[in-house]
Structure 1
């Protein structure tokens, strides 16, 4: 099976049906979670900025800071605008010092051609994630999130994601949170639709938390 590009909800829905056929253990998970909505963000530097800004923040906080960040840069973030922005302006938008360093380092690396985001889009998912980790402050989790949300790569899978680990441990009754290595091993059965499975597990995590009355 060739990895599909998750361009829209219709493509995602077809891939989701294929995933359930690929591994029927996920059918009861889908019964709890429902059919997930496809998550997409803009590709390129702007999308990567959004992923970095959202790290360790609530959805509401991330949206507010992203809006102020875009306003501070005069519109959709570009490498040139980022490199020209004064640190004080970025701080005023709500960015922490570590995130300013990360975004500035990424912008500089892209400007110098250390990584080509357009070329990354043509690589196999795991190889693309490895290349992206050459960017300052970008680990595998951030790289996989970018590939999945910004490029629609159906096989990108952030096995280091805590919510996915918790969801897997619960869904497959593992007696606790699944380890990152364990999650990665289980996800091998879902290639080339691991990213679709990630959407399902995130939806399952949210549904279970809602049933327990806990914040998702």
Structure 2
């Protein structure tokens, strides 16, 4: 079974391993670029929360989620499937997000998406099960694996902030795309998720120095 990012001790193990494997990572950690653990509850609620937060500001996502939780009690797939499209749209969900979360709820209730067992699988296997669901793309799957399950090797190679941080940290001429970043990340296995957290932390520090919103 994979050791999950559930404690600061595990996070430190990952940081130590990255520092030994990669001098750039070692330099970032030595400079104090140490991420927080940051974990959300796993399961249907956590995955639905990630979908709600896609392509909207943090404040908007929080407001929509608060309205949704008032009608989604308990926050289970069965409850979601009983809600009408009208009530979900009134809570602030777009038509696309309603379809995606309905697809997730259906896959869970019918046994094709075992959210309660994904932590037992490799990052690739769990990622494959998630992205088979209509509406779940690679980024959503990786964010769920990393922030809800705490999978240490989940790696959101398509995340723009991670890509830009890698460009800056490694002195690249241009921001690496998902394929190039995936290749770069091979040196970080089995701690690619921890590397992503380091790069996010580095991105926030750089933006703060520039006086721009992170």
What's the TM-score once normalised by structure 1's chain length?
Answer: 0.93
Verify the 8 A CA contact 1:169 1:175 in the aligned structure 2. yes
Matched residue count: 214
Residue by residue over 1:77-123, the C-alpha shift from the partner in whole angstroms, topping out at 9 and shown as x without a partner, is 20011001111221121111110111111111211222212232211
Task: Give the match for residue 57 of structure 1.
Answer: 56
Of 159, 165, 168, the residue aligned with 2:166 is 168
Unaligned stretches of 5+ in structure 2?
A: none
Deviation at 1:9, TM superposition (A): 2.6
Residues in 2 aligned to 1:178 and 1:33: alpha-carbon distance in whole angstroms: 24
Residues in 1 aligned to 2:47 and 2:73: alpha-carbon distance in whole angstroms: 17
Q: How does 1:62-77 map to 2 (within 5 A)?
A: 62-75=61-74, 77=75
Of 143, 146, 149, the residue aligned with 1:145 is 143
Deviation at 1:3, TM superposition (A): 5.0
Residues in 1 aligned to 2:32 and 2:68: alpha-carbon distance in whole angstroms: 33
Q: How does 1:111-130 map to 2 (within 5 A)?
A: 111-130=109-128
Unaligned stretches of 5+ in structure 1?
A: none
Task: Give the match for residue 179 of structure 1.
Answer: 177
Residues in 2 aligned to 1:26 and 1:16: alpha-carbon distance in whole angstroms: 8
Residues in 2 aligned to 1:123 and 1:10: alpha-carbon distance in whole angstroms: 22
Verify the 8 A CA contact 1:120 1:132 in the aligned structure 2. no
Name the stretch that deviates more: 196-205 or 122-131.
122-131
* Partner SS for 2:56: coil
Verify the 8 A CA contact 2:154 2:192 in the aligned structure 1. yes
Task: Give the match for residue 10 of structure 2.
Answer: 11
Q: How does 1:97-116 map to 2 (within 5 A)?
A: 97-116=95-114
